[in-house]
Amino acid sequence: MLRWALIFLVAGLVLALLGFGGIGGAFVEIAKILFFVAIAVFVLLLVLGLVAGRGAGIVK
């Protein structure tokens, strides 16, 4: 997902440099959304991994 965010960011910057500011701005906004979604998924999986890892060593 971060790869797609980087692709959209670079495409948006190139489009803005070429004079297509409207679509370039839209691409940058999509890149921001993808970046924050990727960060949210990372944090969620990190928390789930930490919680699941704590109970693995306990034998009842």
For residue 10, being part of any structural domain is answered with yes
Between CA 42 and CA 40 the distance in angstroms is 5
For residue 8, being part of any structural domain is answered with yes
Confidence of residue 53 (pLDDT cuts 50, 70, 90): confident
Q: What is the span of the domain harbouring residue 46?
A: 2-55
The number of distinct structural domains making up the chain is: 1
Between CA 58 and CA 51 the distance in angstroms is 13
For residue 41, being part of any structural domain is answered with yes
Q: pLDDT tens digits for 11-51?
A: 999 999 999 989 999 999 999 999 999 999 999 999 998 88
Q: What is the pLDDT of residue 27?
A: 95
For residue 20, being part of any structural domain is answered with yes
- Global pTM reads 0.77
For residue 60, being part of any structural domain is answered with no
Q: What is the pLDDT of residue 10?
A: 95
Q: What is the pLDDT of residue 51?
A: 87
